Structure 1
Amino acid sequence: TAVFTVVERVLLRPLPYPGSERMVLVGIDARNDPGSVGPLSPALLTALHDRPGPAEGVVAARTVEAILQGGDAPERVEVTEASRDLLGVFGARPVAGRLLRPSDHDPGAEAVVVLGHGVWRERYGSDPDVVGSAIRLDDRLHTVVGVLDEGFVAPPEVVERDGFWVPLRVDPEITG
């Protein structure tokens, strides 16, 4: 029964994303690689992204914990570090502001965050003026640049929780 559930969910049920018939999920057991980016190392992610071939794009995500400061008390939250094209590949649209841009991923770029719709509604009262404001995740201020549409559902195989989305920055020293 467990095997059928996995086969049905992964192979038989179509994914709810545009172009999902052309999507492939690749994973590597990286439990012994502390420098891994989700299931792929930074060097492999960069090599796959830059390599010409049949893939239109390669995306990655990593969920990390951060301390959200500024409310009644600091709170531990899950933050998704998303690669350059991840939100677009899965059909995300902003209901306010914008999504992450390629330049947001550059080393030294301003720290920005896109809020998931649920976080925006529950924590910020659906206030559109939150776009442009600053929130502190760990010890770093992030400018809120957008809010995801309510209909966006991240694939659970890639993202653990829809809440705070920041650029995944791959250190060039690691990728060589």
Structure 2
Amino acid sequence: MVPDYLFRPMTSADLPLVRRWLAEPHVVEWWGDPNEQFDLVSGDLDEPAMDQFIVAAGGSDFAYLQCYALTAWNTGFGEHPQGTRGIDLFIGEPGLIERGHGSALIRAFASERLRSGAPRIVTDPDPANARAIRAYENAGFEKSGMVDTPDGPALLMVRNA
């Protein structure tokens, strides 16, 4: 049975939890320096083009997800329909990785955004991050090709409405 996921808007009260998650080794592996990432994540709280969420299942917070207007951060992703949204996320709680939550929460979130009018959702995992790529594929995303981003080469993945 797939749990119901709650995507609640992140607030400044969530910053200590996000800071802790960013320091977890399995997050650092793909997101990089925890202090640098915390500055970016916390700095986006008031950014109108960025929606940030804390993801919960069974009443427990366990993941971070950000969803942004691609036109605000299109760094080498190419042409996409107006209204395309980009997403990035991580599961913060180490005991909940590799349990199917990644693909299930991605599927739930992307499906809701597509039903609400977004024509396309894109993401750009590191090409070496097999776990993330598998989760996005299992959530209905397709590999679109390699792109160059400010963080280096990435695999552009797309899910259309």
TM-score by length of 1: 0.28
TM-score by length of 2: 0.30
Larger Rg: 1
Q: When you count strand as a share of all residues, which structure comes out higher?
A: 2
Higher relative contact order (CA 8 A, sep 6+): 1
